[in-house]
Structures are given as structure tokens and as C-alpha cells.
Amino acid sequence: MMGCASSIHISDRVNHSEDSQNCSHPGHIKPQSTLTEVQFGPMKLYEDQLQVLLVFAKDDAQSNSFCWACERAGFRCNVARTPEAALESFQEKNHDLIIIDHRHSRYFDAEALCPSIRGISCSHNTVIVAVVKRPDREEATVMPLISAGFNRRYVENSNMMSCYNELLQLHHGEIRAQIKLRACNAVFTALEQSQEAIEISSEDHFIQYVNPAYECIMGYQRGELLKENTEVPKSEKNKPDLLENISSCIRRGKEWQGVYYAKKKNGDSVQQNVKMTPVVGQGGKIRHCVSVTRPLNDHNKTEKSCERVQAESQTDIQQFSKHKDRRKGSLDVRSTTSRGSDGSSQRRHSSMARIHSMTIEAPITKVINIINAAQESSPMPVAEALDRVLEILRTTELYSPQLGTKEEDPHTNDLVGGLMTDGLRRLSGNEYILATKQLHHIPGHLTTPLSLNDIPPCIAQTMENEDSWDFDIFNLESATVKRPLSYLGLKIFSRFGVCEFLSCPEATLRSWLQIIEANYHSSNSYHNSTHAADVLHATAYFLCKERVKQSLDPIDEVAALIAAAVHDVDHPGRTNSFLCNAGSELAILYNDTAVLESHHAALAFQITTRDDKCNIFKNMERNEYRTLRQAVIDMVLATEMTKHFEHVNKFVNSINKPLAALEENGDSSDEDSVQNILTAPENRILVKRMLIKCADISNPCRPLELCIEWAGRISEEYFAQTDEEKQQGLPVVMPVFDRNTCSVPKSQISFIDYFITDMFDAWDAFADLPNLMQHLDNNFRYWKSLDEKKLHSLRPPPE
């Protein structure tokens, strides 16, 4: 025991006690160094001269011995005679050690003093010792002392060496441990301020600590994760073997680093670059696991995403009200305008303001904006030259969407990945052959089509309001036993005089509609003939809008109706990415490029022209047929989502903006200029593309009940794809569309945010569609409200 003394580092530096209250025992011993190095893990701590407070009402042998021992140990020592003086002295000096005389209750109550000291905020790292009387009969429990806040009991013993040894043991035990714990505050401060997300869990995966960056990134409130004994949330998107690999690494005490999906509070999975380090503790066992998360690719992203999440609730509200205000704003302008039809142009004007601030940011858009701005301050010849530049830019293929602004949202990511890329990925060899059993129905196997005049009354009745946007296609679907396209097609095509235009008998049109409908797969939950009929309905509705009528020729209208009817024919209920990944015959045939759309267009013409009985083009003049065919193909190909932003951008730049410029200059009454923009051949192509695109994905603009039904159908089709991808070992193209985990409201919100809002703003500014925008607003709020309740389903559960 005495050996301890040898570890004391004696230095020549002497500390003089200047305080009159200081212990004045005559000392002959050299005091200890004021600064000692203490190793704490990788941290080097410096221990200052220890401060000791003796609380003794009177000097006696015991207090004198402690004074002497302090001096010998090199500690600075104060003496307080009363509890008041003790508290005052402690507040001033924050002693490392307090020794309180607990032997004489007549002077002061040591068990009351201790809690008072503990009540001072900085006291938790202070060691407090009670000096007690030697028990004369039985040993009493120390529990009352511990409860009062004492760390230790010292049985009175005024032997100097005994006091000295007590101090040495305290110093190297409790006091030094407290000094190390104090350093933990610094370590925690560093963790708290780290931009990297840090998580510490126990060996059995319970969360023990997460820093604010972690909470931010994962969408938690401060301290929320620690409230209950939570396990680290796991994302289902990780492959099971990855999780197994990680835990076996950790179990063997090895570090694991790699890309891993973490699960956010809202259930979203987020891909992260994670380093997991096992921390070996007592008994050589793994006691903790530390995960440090770096964002993928971008070093600045943590900060950004952190800021973003911190403002999340706020942003949500803002986004919501932005959405609401936009819609509301556009409607309010109308309602406050009492000048009848002027209202619509006013409202369109406000839509134009939105178009100017549209977030679709292809580089070409920026270039065009810069040139437009430069034109304003340019002399005439320069402005004219720039006009020609703009013309070239607008008619070449420079448009490409800039993706990635919303890449953190897995729903958007998956939709973009699943719909906008062909997503060819290396496969493990097993080739998927597209089921062909249902392909290419031959006429004659079908019941003889009815004429428009003898459509059964129950079906005719469901089609009565087919010219209304709120028309219920699902009623027609059930009334016609899943053959809505033939019936609605017949009605709409006759309303537009298609037979007259094509010089084709109504019977041929009927056969054609039937063969086309038969080549839709009724087994698809979404891409069946009801979807085709729905797109045809929307197309017909848009064709009746004033601006559209001004822009398009009869041949464009006929092309649009035909394109709508055939645009998804023989759709296999799987996305382009799937077909490419599966190495399907179609993907091989079309070189992984616009596979489905190419197939729909090609098959439509094959079916139509193969048999005179259904060849609606048979009596057309050759050049007219070529023009019509070109237009139909162009429109069907325009439904491919990889070109979504290109089509919307071109439309905004070539049509919305020039029209808005005319309106802003007060030239809107200049009918010739308007007409020139509307009927320019290249612009008519853009209008037709935009028209069929909007018709194709107009589900979010339909009345709520229809919108919900469509959302259920598309989700089911994507779920079925994910099921099959898993079954066949194919890459899962849209992992969020997993029937076990998918939030339909979230996927709808992402789809609306990413694809719908801007496109329909532009289309509304052109075609004037307040009712659609009202539905869109309403539906968006519906999905938001479900999502806010954390519901994943189509509808709230019944009360």
C-alpha cells in the first residue's frame, strides 16, 4: 500500500497558500506538481492541482491530519467552519474533494450539508467524504450517507499516514475517474456538433446515443429516439445477406464499412455510407457499436440535409400551403374577376407567372432565359440574331431533364428510376421471355360489335355525361364488363366525326376498336383497356378546349383520338426497366429504347392494317395517311416518361412563354401573333405531345374517388412487378413499391410533386382547366392528410 507514495511525482514547484482560510499546518514536505498528465483512452488530460475542502467546525487531530496529508500530497486545501462558509467556498473554488466532519451533530448536520452541496450545479464531479465516528458496538449501514450524496465514508483515524493514504486512494480512484468523466463532456460536445450522423448502440442493438445530426437526417425530434428502449430501425431495403454480413463482422470485433439503407422516422429508406465499429469493453466483450454515417457522394450534403430536416415540419407546411396557395390563387383570381370570360385569361395570366418561376431546370431553359434577358437590352440586329438562336435551340434535341434535385426522396427516386430510365442492369443470366399467349387477337373471335344506335340503354346511360371531366369511367367499365374502350371509343369517335374524316364505315371502326381493346391485357390491374378509355376520354375533353381547338387541325384531332386509344396496347403490366432487365424479346427488338411505346405504336398499325375488316385507314389518301400515321406514332412515343421533362420544357418555352409575353405586352388582342404561335407546325406537335401526356397521367386531376381507384390500380401493378422481380432474381426497379411496406400516399405525393404539378400548371396556363387544378389540389391534400397520419393505405381506416 505504501508503494502508492512512490508514484507521486514530486516537483520543485511550490504552491503557496495565500488564503487565510487555508490550512496552516506547518509543512516540511515538498508539495506535488500542479499539472499531471492523465491518459484517457486516446485523450491526454492534464490534471491540475487538486482542490480539497475540509468542513470541520473546530480544529482537532483529525482535521489537522487531513491538512497535513493534503500538503504532503500536494493538494490545495481550504477549511470551512460552517455549512454556509463551506457552500460559499465551494461555489468559489469548485473543489475536487470535500471532506465533511460527520462526528459531531451539535455543530452542524453533515447529512443536510451534503445535499446542499449536491444541489449546486457543478458538484456532480466532486467527491464528498463523510468522516464518521468509529462505531462502538455495531456497524451501521452507509446507505443514509449514500442517499445524502456522499461518495465515501472515512472512519475517524487521525493517524497522519492513514489520512494521507486515504487521500492517495481517493485521488487515484474516485477523483481521477471524475476527471475522466468531466472530459466526456468535451467528447459529447464534439459528438453533438459533428456534422456526421453518429449512433451508439449496445451490443444487443439498443440505441444508447444518437447525435443531433443523426436525429436531423433520420427525421427525429431531439431526444425522441432515446425516450424508450428502441432498437436501431432497420430498412427492409437491405438485402438479408448484407445485414448478416454486417452483424457477423461486428460479432467478430471487426469494423464494417459500406453502403447501407437506414430507415427514417417516416418509414422512408435512405442510402448511406456507414462505418460501424464494435467497441470492446469490459471482459473483452463487445459492449457498444458506433455507427458513423457519411452521405453518399457529396460532402456538403449532410449539412444540407440536416438543415433541411431541421426545417422539415416547417417545410411541410410551406410546401402544403404553397400548393394550396397556387391552386387557390389561380381560382381566386377567377372568382374576383366579374368580367365573365376575361376571368379565364386573368387566371391564365397568373398561371403564367407560375410558369416563369417553374422549377423545371434543364440547362437549355437557363440558356433560353439568359438569351431572353440579353435580348431586352440588345440593339435590333443582335436581338434578331438571338431570335434565330432561340429558334434553333427550340427545335433541336438539346433538352434533357436535370434530375437529382429531389434524389433524397426514395419514392421520387424509384419513380424516376423505374419510369424514366431503361435501367439496364447486369443480370444473372436467366432470361425473361414476355408472355405472348395473349398477343394479337384476331377479329372474328369477338362478338359482333353493336352499332352506336343499338348500344344497350344501361351502357348508353353511363356514357351520357362522357363530355364532362367528372365522367366515371369505372361505371362504364363494369357496365360493359371490362370493355369500355369499344363503347366509349364508338361514342367519342362519332362525336368527333372520325369515320367521316377517315372515310371509313362505322362497322370498320367498331371492329377496329374491338380488336384494339382485345389486345389490351384485362389481367393488368392498371394498364388495361379501362386506362386506354380513360386516356381517350381525357384527350377528347382537352380537344374541346378553346386554345387546343385554335391550335389543332382536324387531322391532329383524329390522330390524338387514335393515339389515345392505342397508346398502351398490349402493355404487359411491367415497366420498360423491367423488360430491359429481363432481356425480354421486346427489349431486344427495340434495343432497350422506348421499348413499350415503340411496341404500342408498331403493334397498333400492324393490327389495323393486317385485316381490311378493321383497317380504318384503308380509304385514306396516301399523303394524308402518312401525316396521320406520323402524328399517331409521335404522340404514342411522347408518352414515354424518359422524355417527360423534355416535352414539358419545350412546351413551356415554345408556347407558354411566347403567349405570356404577348399577354404581358398587352398584345393578347393581336390575334395574328397568337394564331402564329398556336398553329406553327412545330408547336402543334408540342401541343399534341403535351395533350396526350397530360391525358395519360391525368389520374391525380380526376375527382377524388376516381383518383384513389387509379392510385390503387397502379400501385398493385407495380407491386406485382416487384413480386416478380424478387421471384425471378431480377433487380428490383422500384423498391418502394413493395406491397408489404409501400406508402401509397407517399408515392402519390412524390408523383404529383415530381411529374404532375409543373406539367399541369403549364397545361392549365394553355388550355384553361380550373376544375382539374381544383381536383389536383384536393387530391394532393388528401394524400398529404393520410401521410401526416402515417397511413400507407389508399383510404383512412373505417371509424
Q: Which stretch, 22-30, 244-252, 403-411, 564-572, contacts Zn ion (CB under 5 A)?
A: 564-572
State how far the Cα of 100 lies from the Cα of 333, in Å rounded to an integer.
80
- Which pairing describes strands 256-263 and 127-132: parallel, antiparallel, or unpaired? unpaired
Residue with cell 499516514: 161
Q: Which stretch, 174-182, 620-628, 690-698, 742-750, contacts Zn ion (CB under 5 A)?
A: 690-698
- Residue number, 568 or 758, with CB nearest to Zn ion: 568
State how far the Cα of 419 lies from the Cα of 576, in Å rounded to an integer.
7
Side-chain-facing half-sphere of 439: CA atoms under 13 Å: 11
- C-alpha dihedral over 87, 88, 93, 99, to 10 degrees? -30
DSSP 567: T
Q: Which amino acid is at 337?
A: T
Are the CB atoms for 244 and 198 separated by under 8 Å? no
Taking residues 517 to 556 in sequence order and writing x for each that binds Zn ion by CB under 5 A, - otherwise, the string is ----------------------------------------
- C-alpha dihedral over 729, 730, 735, 737, to 10 degrees? -90
State how far the Cα of 530 lies from the Cα of 522, in Å rounded to an integer.
9
Range 691-730, binding Zn ion (CB under 5 A): 696
Question: 471: closest CA among 483, 461, 457?
Answer: 461
Q: Which stretch, 19-27, 390-398, 514-522, 568-576, contacts Zn ion (CB under 5 A)?
A: 568-576
**Is 440 considered catalytic here?**
no
In the complex, least distance from residue 529 CB atom to Zn ion, rounded to whole angstroms: 11
Q: Which stretch, 66-74, 136-144, 152-160, 689-697, contacts Zn ion (CB under 5 A)?
A: 689-697
Q: How many CB atoms lie within 10 A of CB 668?
A: 16
State how far the Cα of 351 lies from the Cα of 765, in Å rounded to an integer.
5
Q: At what angle do helices 312-336 and 342-356 cross, to 10 degrees?
A: 150
Q: Which helix (H) or strand (E) holds 488?
A: helix 484-495
Q: Which residues contact 673 (CB under 8 A, 6 or more apart)?
A: 662, 667
- Residue number, 568 or 570, with CB nearest to Zn ion: 568
In the complex, least distance from residue 636 CB atom to Zn ion, rounded to whole angstroms: 9
In the complex, least distance from residue 250 CB atom to Zn ion, rounded to whole angstroms: 48
State how far the Cα of 185 lies from the Cα of 38, in Å rounded to an integer.
16
State how far the Cα of 71 lies from the Cα of 29, in Å rounded to an integer.
7
In the complex, least distance from residue 473 CB atom to Zn ion, rounded to whole angstroms: 13
Q: Which stretch, 103-111, 195-203, 561-569, 679-687, contacts Zn ion (CB under 5 A)?
A: 561-569
- Residue number, 331 or 632, with CB nearest to Zn ion: 632
466 binds Zn ion (CB under 5 A): no
In the complex, least distance from residue 651 CB atom to Zn ion, rounded to whole angstroms: 18
In the complex, least distance from residue 656 CB atom to Zn ion, rounded to whole angstroms: 24
In the complex, least distance from residue 434 CB atom to Zn ion, rounded to whole angstroms: 18
SS3 state of residue 209:
strand
Cell, residue 497: 366525326
In the complex, least distance from residue 692 CB atom to Zn ion, rounded to whole angstroms: 9
- Residue number, 565 or 655, with CB nearest to Zn ion: 565
- Residue number, 638 or 660, with CB nearest to Zn ion: 638
Question: 632: closest CA among 681, 572, 561, 694?
Answer: 561
Exposure pattern of 21-46 as b/e (b: 16+ CB <10 Å)?
Answer: ebbebeeeeebbbbebeeebeeeebe
Instruction: Number of residues interacting with Zn ion: please give it, by CB under 5 A.
Output: 2
- Residue number, 568 or 764, with CB nearest to Zn ion: 568
Side-chain-facing half-sphere of 496: CA atoms under 13 Å: 29
- Residue number, 568 or 768, with CB nearest to Zn ion: 568
In the complex, least distance from residue 605 CB atom to Zn ion, rounded to whole angstroms: 18
In the complex, least distance from residue 696 CB atom to Zn ion, rounded to whole angstroms: 4
Range 7-26, binding Zn ion (CB under 5 A): none
Which residue among the candidates 323, 527, 599, 600 is catalytic per the annotation? Answer: 527
Are the CB atoms for 45 and 182 separated by under 8 Å? no
Side-chain-facing half-sphere of 137: CA atoms under 13 Å: 0
DSSP 739: T
How far, in whole angstroms, is CA 152 from its chain's centroid?
54
- Residue number, 561 or 765, with CB nearest to Zn ion: 561
In the complex, least distance from residue 535 CB atom to Zn ion, rounded to whole angstroms: 6
State how far the Cα of 466 lies from the Cα of 485, in Å rounded to an integer.
12
Taking residues 643 to 682 in sequence order and writing x for each that binds Zn ion by CB under 5 A, - otherwise, the string is ----------------------------------------
State how far the Cα of 216 lies from the Cα of 270, in Å rounded to an integer.
13
568 binds Zn ion (CB under 5 A): yes
Residues facing 263 on adjacent strands: 269
Q: How many CB atoms lie within 10 A of CB 539?
A: 27
Residue with cell 387557390: 328
- Residue number, 364 or 563, with CB nearest to Zn ion: 563
777 binds Zn ion (CB under 5 A): no
Question: 761: closest CA among 696, 701, 719?
Answer: 701
- Residue number, 264 or 527, with CB nearest to Zn ion: 527
Q: Which stretch, 307-315, 508-516, 567-575, 761-769, contacts Zn ion (CB under 5 A)?
A: 567-575
- Residue number, 66 or 760, with CB nearest to Zn ion: 760
User: Which residues are the active-site residues?
Assistant: 527
Q: What is the contact surface with Zn ion in residues (CB under 5 A)?
A: 568, 696
